[in-house]
Amino acid sequence: MKKAAWKFVSCMFLASWLAGGDVRALSLEEALARADAAPEVAAARAGEAASAEWLRAAGQLPDPRLVLSVDDMAIEGDTRYRLRDAKRMVGLMQDFPAAKKREAERQQAEAGLAADGRMREFVRQTARREAALAWIQLYFLTQKQSLLEKSAAEIRLRQRATTAALAGGNRLDSDADAALESLLDRQMQDEAVDLLNRDLRQARARLQRVVPTEARLEATGELPAWLKNPATFAREFSDDAAELNASQARISMAEAELAMARADKDSDWSVEFGVGEDAMGKAMMMAKVNFSLPVFAGSRQNPRIAAAQKKLEQSEAEHQMRRAEFLRQREAWLAEEAALTLRLQRLNQEILPLLTRKIALSEAAFSGGRGSAAALILAREKHLNNRIQALDLEAERAAVRANLHFLSAGSATQ
């Protein structure tokens, strides 16, 4: 007895080691919280931080320039290339871009920061949605695994029952067909288990992409209220959705580019001051003021303004296109959710109760000697198969509800 127990413990340890060691069970809320630190979200946060730093420098005056000059230096005769016999000057020069240009530069930086912030929120919601979909898939696959194990046990019982009937001398064609059918069902069951194991592995890999960990992930806990209550995902449409916010930000950036193009029509100016000595050693001072002259607006500034205007129109049209696609996708998922809900209601309220009644009738017939064990087992199998179908429908509906929830999620969604 001790050897058998030791052998069992050793096998369990080896199986655990081969399975990969640590197992981490996550609730859906934990998975969503950890998705906030997904690599793509971290990258988006870094981009937003870079834009915030860029905003600090936007619209500032350019750095002043140090000017060193030599005038009237001879290049012939005995005094050629002699600095003390030339005018020498040291000065500072400062450029002053037009006020509208500096304001447009700040507007561009602010628009870029807002766009990066909205994109960061969109990336965050996308990562949370991916984590939710992967968790939901893993959650229902785990439940399906236990139902498939029960179904496999029922098939094995039916196989033994039909085999026993044949071995007992019952050579009816129906019994032979039932025995063959049970063998085929067992093969199909084995294939279903193989596919389930594949799907489980893929679901864990999908979840680990947004929830990085070396442990083998498992879904635990219950579905949250926002997946059970239709009011939380079928709310009225709002333009505050993260995806539409990211699209709207591109319009703001195009408006900032248009403002910068228009500001190019304003003149820039610069001022320069200098002090020095002439060839006689007398002190000198110099002052200069320069102005840019945008007098060829028709061939320079105006085409850039027109191009910026067209880009703004393009951004507005693309936003409307995304909004229309957003609404289409939302309506498609709402329709899918309604259809899945009706199918589940029919299965849970009509089909499964009928199958439960059929099991009861088969049990009564078997107890009274009027039915076979194989028929009773087959009735239980059919009930189990419909429960599996109901579970698959619940998984599909939960995924659709999650898509709807995150589709309309704005920056205030937690």
pLDDT tens-digit readout, 171-203? 444 455 556 666 677 777 788 888 989 999 999
Calculate the dihedral angle through the C-alpha atoms of 401, 402, 403, 406, rounding to the nearest 10 degrees. 120
How far apart are alpha carbons 303 and 97 in whole angstroms?
21
Would you say 101 and 266 are in contact if contact means Cβ atoms under 8 Å apart? yes
Contacts of residue 311, Cβ cutoff 8 Å, sequence gap at least 6:
254, 257, 258
Q: Cβ contacts of residue 270 below 8 Å, gap of 6+?
A: 93, 94, 95, 96, 289, 290
Q: Which of 105-109, 169-173, 267-271, 315-319 has the lowest mean pLDDT?
A: 169-173
Strand, helix or coil at 102? helix
Which residue in the block uniquely carries the two structure tokens 């089909």?
A: 351
CB–CB of 101/62 below 8 Å? Answer: no
Dihedrals phi, psi of 390, to nearest 5 degrees: -65, -40
List CB contacts of 169: < 8 A, sequence separation 6 or more.
none
Helix (H, G, I), strand (E, B) or coil at 241: coil
Q: Looking at per-residue confidence, does 39 or 16 come out higher?
A: 39
Q: Which residues contact 18 (CB under 8 A, 6 or more apart)?
A: none
Flag whether pLDDT at 12 surpasses 70: no
- The pairing of beta strand 216-219 with beta strand 269-277: unpaired
Query: How many other C-beta atoms can be found within 10 angstroms of the C-beta atom of residue 247?
Result: 24
Neighbours of 368 (CB within 10 A): 8
Contact present, 383 and 213 (Cβ < 8 Å):
no
The structure tokens 């069951």 sit at: 189
Minimum mean pLDDT range among 83-92, 151-160, 351-360 = 151-160
Q: Residue 136 — pLDDT band, cuts 50, 70, 90?
A: very high
Residue 9: is its pLDDT beyond 90? Answer: no
The answer to whether the CB of 121 falls within 8 A of the CB of 242 is yes
Q: What are the pLDDT digits (tens) for 271-301?
A: 999 999 887 878 889 999 999 988 888 888 8
Q: Which two tokens stand for residue 406?
A: 């995150």
Structural domains in the chain plus CATH codes: 100-264+300-407 (1.20.1600.10)
Retrieve residue 359's tokens: 């099991």
* C-beta separation of 296 from 265 below 8 A: no
CA distance 286 to 92: 10
- Tokens 């198969």 correspond to what residue? 385
6 phi/psi in degrees, rounded to 5: -65, -40
